[in-house]
Amino acid sequence: MSEIRVAVIGAQGRMGSHAVAAIEEAEGLALVAALGSADSLDAVLDAQADVAVELTVPRATEDNVRFLVEHGIDTVVGTTGWDAERLSRLESLLAEHPGTAVLIAPNFSIGAVLAMHFAELAAKYFDSAEVVEIHHPRKLDAPSGTAVHTAQRIAAARSAAGLPAVPDATESDPHGARGAVIDGIHVHAVRQLGMNASEEIHFGADGEALTLRTDTFSTSAFMPGIITAVREIGGREGLAVGLENYLTL
């Protein structure tokens, strides 16, 4: 079986440079192009890449992906900034290019993706559910996008199962210790020097607790997810949002 030819766009960033190294080491993958911000996307075509890994910045990503799809190149996207409008335009474009696939993954950590999936499965069996995320103190927003997404998926699963609101008799909370409430699920954000990105999902029922914890210590944690996506995308078409769509669960 021949190797998958991979181009990395945004190869000079932190994620990009890790991806370059990971692709070079991965069995069955060949790195054929590594583009920086000054390089033309034509290099991806010249290199006859099968798959592109797009790891740039929000303002560049949509144009890049459009160009790649128009040239029939399957693309794994790790850049953020894909709102509903952008996704809708991309879906229309992909409809005109059958056989081409795009995976947009807000989080390439397989552990985080699994934890979210497990949370969704567990949600209906527990009265209480809460999310605590811990990040480095340089983070600008709270709570993390992953924590918000986790809470939303738990809430949707509870709702689908007909569960009532989580039990909570709090009458007095003058300083807001009960945290953010996202679709009825409480979310807490801890900022701690020395930590990178962790999430703890708490489920409680009478006499019982289930806790799912995921820790991402470094950028290398995202490489298995990227490699899995690159290997998997050849057999797909159309748009998928979320790495979980490419995992066997």
CA distance 23 to 235: 19
* 32 versus 187: smaller Cβ distance to a second copy: 187
Instruction: Measure CA 244 to chain center.
Output: 9
| Of 32-40, 51-59, 85-93, 161-169: span binding a second copy (CB under 8 A) | 161-169
Q: For residue 187, how many other CB atoms are within 10 A of its CB?
A: 22
- The residue within the footprint of a second copy, chosen from 216, 229, 233, 246 (CB under 8 A), is 216
By CB under 8 A, tell whether 224 contacts a second copy: yes
Backbone angles phi and psi of 183, in degrees to 5: 50, 40
- Nearest by Cα to 108 from 19, 24, 201: 19
186 annotated as belonging to a binding site for a ligand? no
Of 135, 149, 186, 188, the catalytic one is 135
- The residue within the footprint of a second copy, chosen from 98, 162, 164, 207 (CB under 8 A), is 207
By CB under 8 A, tell whether 185 contacts a second copy: no
8 A C-beta contact, residue 181 and residue 104: no
12 annotated as belonging to a binding site for a ligand? yes
8 A C-beta contact, residue 221 and residue 67: no
145 annotated as belonging to a binding site for a ligand? yes
Radius of gyration of the chain (CA): 20
| Of 26-34, 45-53, 67-75, 140-148: span binding a second copy (CB under 8 A) | 140-148
One DSSP character per residue, 192-209 reads -TT--EEEEEEEEETTEE
105 annotated as belonging to a binding site for a ligand? yes
Known catalytic membership, residue 117: no
- Nearest by Cα to 239 from 96, 58, 25, 48: 96
Q: Name residues contacting a second copy, limited to 75-134 (CB under 8 A).
A: 109-111, 114-115, 118, 121-122, 125-128, 130, 132, 134
Of 71, 97, 124, 139, the catalytic one is 139
CA distances to 159, 210, 230 from 19, in Å = 39, 34, 11
Known catalytic membership, residue 135: yes
Nearest approach, Cβ of residue 36 and a second copy (Å):
24
108 annotated as belonging to a binding site for a ligand? yes
- Catalytic residue numbers, as ranges: 135, 139
Binding residues: 10-15, 78-80, 105-108, 136, 145-146
Binding residues for (S)-2,3,4,5-tetrahydrodipicolinate: 136, 145-146
